[in-house]
Chain A
Amino acid sequence: MPRFLTGRRLATALLALLLAMPACGASRSDYAPSSSSSYAEERAPQGRSAAYADSDEYSPSPQSQPAAESTGSSSSSWSWFSFGGDDVEGSKVSPDGSAPREQAPVAKSGGTENRAQSGAEPGDAAKPEPQAPSSKGRPLLIYNGSLIVAIYEVAETQLKAIAIVEEADGFIASRASDRLVMRVPAAQFREILDRLANLGDVIDVNWRAQDVSEEVRDLQIRLQNSMEIRNRLQVLLARAEKVEDALAIEAQLERVTLDIERIIGQLRSFQDRVAFSTIDMHFRAKRVDEIPDDEYLLPYSWLNGLGVDNLLRIPGGRR
């Protein structure tokens, strides 16, 4: 242990390191998405844990961190968490199997952007447009869709919907008598939505794609920075001679490790939601207060007399 790292100098070095924390690591412009294999492939149900197979490289615990990385060469220690930007834009993740349709608008804006299609058929989406070249890779999109289906043969329809989803290697997130929440591979989102819409009399279809590229990029940069800091702290810890110095470094290590775990949790959540789209299928009538403003409510009172309820309510009859 070099003598210059002992006592006050060690404390000063630690302080300097802590002050430098927000500034160190890769800047946003340094970031380039990893071109690893498709995340959709990795997260395919038959290998649902495969996405984390590479994660064996990573271990949040300082004890298991390879010594070589502890020297500060943390360049690849976080890259396993890449969403595979190039692959996300490919046909595997695009809902209709042809990416350009969804991604062209985002390529133009280049920023975080939510796009909604309300009340439109999925097939009505914009025509494919030429892709604007982007050095940042194509966007990471989370697809969410919802269907409102008329209440008719709900149980049978739900079983058919479950069969469609499971056939596509998706899964059921929750099921109630009037609702079915399904997670489907993003690559098949549109196809499955169309198939589900054919199961019954669909009153409303609503779906949206949320671009989370910026959030993921920020998280990856934060993860890289935190891991570099952790590596430096580990170096300092190994060199610490005084107990109080070691305790101070360990406290910082613990904090940084918690940060890393939290960031990884967020990235995993994004990974999951990018790979598996959510389709929420409701079996119900639209309530009046849910009708969009542009949907005209016919003012003809005799229409209110229609329906089984009125027809079967016979004077003197007991139901």
Chain B
Amino acid sequence: MKTFKHTSLWAMALLFCTLLFSGCASFKITTPDEMAEVGPQDKAYDYRALTVRGVVLGVRVISQGKYDDVPRANEVFWVDATRQRMRTLGGYALLSEEPVQSANGHSGTRLKFGRDQRGTTYWYWVTLFVTEDNIHVIDAGGRREHFEESQSVIEQALASYVVRD
């Protein structure tokens, strides 16, 4: 009976570790000193950090082929889908688009958008890295003047991004 209990505990611990690491293994990012990471209560994002002026950086890793509405597709497709959605439905203005590389050399694309909302101008950047299994969506946004102040910090965080899967 005791052995069975031990085995069960080990199995649960193993399962927990597997789940824990499978969720975190797909990327790595270094939070700059000027930003603070949001706690584990944040369910909407895999990672989110913000500056004291409210410029936020978020990461979502979405599994391709796992869900019906996330088919497997390449980077060109997902970048195009993102661009179209933001411009046609979101009303965001596409300010620029540029190729980027992750810290470990993975190629991606960064779309820079702008939008006015309630009389305030916001900047919103979306960086996409697409692997065989995942779509890495790293977005950063905030009021334009605050974003401009923190731009180097955001760029530092983005430059530290490692695509693991």
Q: Is the interface of B mostly helix, strand, loop or mixed?
A: strand
Q: In the assembled complex, which residues on chain A have CB atoms less than 8 Å from the CB atom of B48?
A: 311, 314
In angstroms, Cα B91 to Cα A283, docked, is 9
Q: Is the CB of B56 within 8 A of A150?
A: no
* Other-chain residue from A152, A154, A305 in contact with B92 (beta carbon distance below 8 A): A152
Q: Is the CB of A150 within 8 A of B69?
A: no
Q: In the assembled complex, which residues on chain B have CB atoms less than 8 Å from the CB atom of A306?
A: 82, 85-86, 90, 126, 137, 139
Q: In the assembled complex, which residues on chain B have CB atoms less than 8 Å from the CB atom of A151?
A: 91-93, 115-117
Q: How many residues of A contact B (CB 8 A)?
A: 33
What string of 1s and 0s marks CB contacts (under 8 Å) between A284-303 and chain B?
Answer: 11101001000100111111
Complex interface residues of chain B between 105 and 125 (CB less than 8 A to chain A): 114-117, 121-122, 124
* Other-chain residue from A154, A288, A311 in contact with B124 (beta carbon distance below 8 A): A311
Complex interface residues of chain B between 122 and 138 (CB less than 8 A to chain A): 122, 124, 126, 135, 137
Q: In the assembled complex, which residues on chain B have CB atoms less than 8 Å from the CB atom of A203?
A: 87-88, 91
A-B interface pairs (CB < 8 A), number: 108
Q: Is the CB of A298 within 8 A of B84?
A: yes
Q: In the assembled complex, which residues on chain A have CB atoms less than 8 Å from the CB atom of B142?
A: 308, 312
Q: Is the CB of B139 within 8 A of A300?
A: no
Q: Is the CB of A303 within 8 A of B82?
A: yes
Q: Is the CB of B88 within 8 A of A291?
A: yes
A133 at the binding interface (Cβ < 8 Å): no
Contact A286:B91 (CB < 8 A) given known A298-B85, A306-B82, A314-B38: yes
Complex interface residues of chain B between 1 and 60 (CB less than 8 A to chain A): 38, 41-44, 48, 50, 54, 56, 58, 60
Q: Is the CB of B85 within 8 A of A201?
A: no
In angstroms, Cα B122 to Cα A310, docked, is 13
Q: In the assembled complex, which residues on chain A have CB atoms less than 8 Å from the CB atom of B90?
A: 285, 306-307
In angstroms, Cα B85 to Cα A150, docked, is 12
A-to-B contact residues, CB < 8 Å: 149-154, 200-201, 203, 283-286, 288, 291, 295, 298-303, 305-308, 310-316
Contacts A203-B87, A299-B69, A303-B81 aside, 4 further interface pairs with beta carbons under 8 A come to: A150-B93, A151-B92, A152-B95, A201-B92
